[in-house]
Chain A
């Protein structure tokens, strides 16, 4: 566990990287408005890894993509809430966060890949098949770190080279750089890019980075491609890395390696990570805190320890019990019967009530709220609320066995 998980409340705002508040994302569909994400709130502290788990279709990817405004609109719509983001500078000089949902598009483009990076489930689709690996990783340096490219330049680099480092060269300049006296300088720039790309790849423990740089995506295995994606994502030293099921398409043996790598690099770079997965045993390995999502809502948040050893929400308990393990007898696996409910005009009720063994009448009538959402522990279930607060009889409160399942 890193220290971030137990941050004292007073430090909360200063140490945050991002804070999602009441995020709502809706989709226009033929059948009606689909509430894919419906009031999600959680924080990510500096240097912390937060896991987001839940069944297919519960809104994990939509939440993640909202950070970078990657939801296609239409049919999608940011229907409410905010995602506050503190960059390193903002944290250093105590200035206000930006709201990722409302900043101008040009700012979001600058934040993407630079301050917030994302790796996806299918590395094959995220890489351009027509470009060599070198070009794809170099792209990040050109786009966001052109100053670094010129950092070790002795003397003042000519403006042509400055523009080349930012990929802003005109046609004429390209031609000019093929001839002396600019040629040697252009070569130096290229060598510098090569060095940085090589370093970034080497950091992901790819064997022989120089050879990989010259290859094309189809020549690499899935695990290698995912390493390239990670190199690309971490090249700019982002404040936040969003990993959306980065190992789902990989074999278990490779998956373990990639997970280890993400963990190491995260420690080395002090990057915060939002790690999305449907696999509980994976998030347990890598996350400080875990948010369990169900049907567009957060069901429960807590430290990894709390979630695994003292799960409170019936859904969390069900998920944990359903993982086949040494403790089970054949045919006696605990299952959560039924399916995820319809997300089109969801009624005011606990979304889990159709599958919850503890559900009572009030669960069908009143929508439970997540009791606070800071760095602490919270759960959205009536079983943990006093009858006075809800204004119902004590007998109506779901009686959960409060000790861990």
Chain B
């Protein structure tokens, strides 16, 4: 490596603080991520969707008592898009599609944040214990993971949700039970790999505690694939969640894209495409946006593809 900062030369720039250095690095990294146009597009869509979710009470009049329930206007059923007051049209039960799209974004965001938040933390914890402690503990955890991984995600989540009865909370629970194993597996593999680096041994020589070695050396160098996977899952979970709602595992009338698609599908054959196609497109857009961002992150962050 060439370097202009050889000992004895004074070409080095002025001293800058640790915070500035870290910020500069974060800036460099994000610039690198966003240089890819498709990643940038993904981020724009995500920002748009999240803004929409955040502004839901402003964009629409929240339903009372529960804003997450679709309001019903029995006087305006099957209105096509463009109708005043119902720009995306209405469903066969008088639900405003626009309301469903906007509040559905909230539902989706809530669902993916809860599920990803829980699975990342729990999966990372289990994977870390397995990878860092090793031996018997590792074997037991990984056997459980292997068994869970052998069942296809959708079918597994479906089975759990079906047993627990139709409710959106149960869907979230089911997804949480299913998705953590992936993280456990990723982080365990990373840790076993990272543990072999000499910097882990040099921390041992210095006499640092096991927990500090895990916290400072092992974890920070293992998390990037988890970040990438979590981004991809932010999209994937909405897709699976919508599928479960679609087959009727959520409460009827919930402002959720899958539920809307399911309600509207009957009308497609009679030409009323909007009630299911528009929420369907939202699911697609959401999943696509996070996939674009996730792929972009992977290109820059994942060491196996050459980034840092």
Contacts and interface: CB of A to CB of B under 8 A. Distances in A.
Interface string B1-27: 111101111000000000000000000
Contacts of A349: none
A337 B8 CA distance: 8
A341 B7 contact: no
Contact of B7 (A57, A337, A354): A337
Contact residues of A: prevailing secondary structure: loop
B1 A57 contact: yes
A338 interface: yes
Interface in A306-363: 337-343, 354
Interface residues of B, number: 8
A297 to B, nearest CB: 14
B7 A343 contact: no
Contact of B9 (A57, A338, A340, A343): A338
A153 B4 CA distance: 64
Interface string A201-234: 0000000000000000000000000000000000
A378 B6 CA distance: 29
Interface residues of A, number: 9
Nearest to B28: A30
Contacts, number: 22
A57 B2 CA distance: 7
A340 B4 CA distance: 8
A338 B6 contact: yes
Contacts of A342: 2-4
B307 to A, nearest CB: 12
A338 B2 contact: no
Nearest to B3: A339
Contacts of A337: 6-8
Kindly name the residue among B2, B8, B9 whose own CB sees the greatest number of chain A CB atoms within 10 A. Answer: B2
A55 to B, nearest CB: 10
B8 A341 contact: no
Nearest to A57: B2
Contacts of B2: 57, 339-343
A341 B1 contact: no
A367 to B, nearest CB: 18
A342 B8 CA distance: 16
Contacts of B7: 337-338
Nearest to A340: B2
Contacts of A341: 2, 4
Interface in B237-267: none
B71 to A, nearest CB: 53
Contacts of A338: 6-9
A341 B1 CA distance: 10
Nearest to B4: A342
Contacts of B6: 337-339, 354
A343 B1 CA distance: 10
Kindly name the residue among A339, A340, A341 whose own CB sees the greatest number of chain B CB atoms within 10 A. Answer: A339
B46 to A, nearest CB: 26
Contacts of A57: 1-2
Interface string B117-153: 0000000000000000000000000000000000000
A318 B9 CA distance: 18
A372 to B, nearest CB: 29
Interface string B153-194: 000000000000000000000000000000000000000000
A17 to B, nearest CB: 32
A341 B2 CA distance: 6
A360 to B, nearest CB: 18
A370 B8 CA distance: 29
Contacts of A340: 2
A343 B2 CA distance: 8
Interface of A: 57, 337-343, 354
Query: Nearest 6 CB-CB pairs, A to B?
Result: A339-B6, A338-B6, A340-B2, A342-B4, A337-B8, A339-B3
Interface of B: 1-4, 6-9
10 contacts: A337-B6, A339-B2, A339-B3, A339-B4, A339-B6, A341-B2, A341-B4, A342-B3, A342-B4, A343-B2
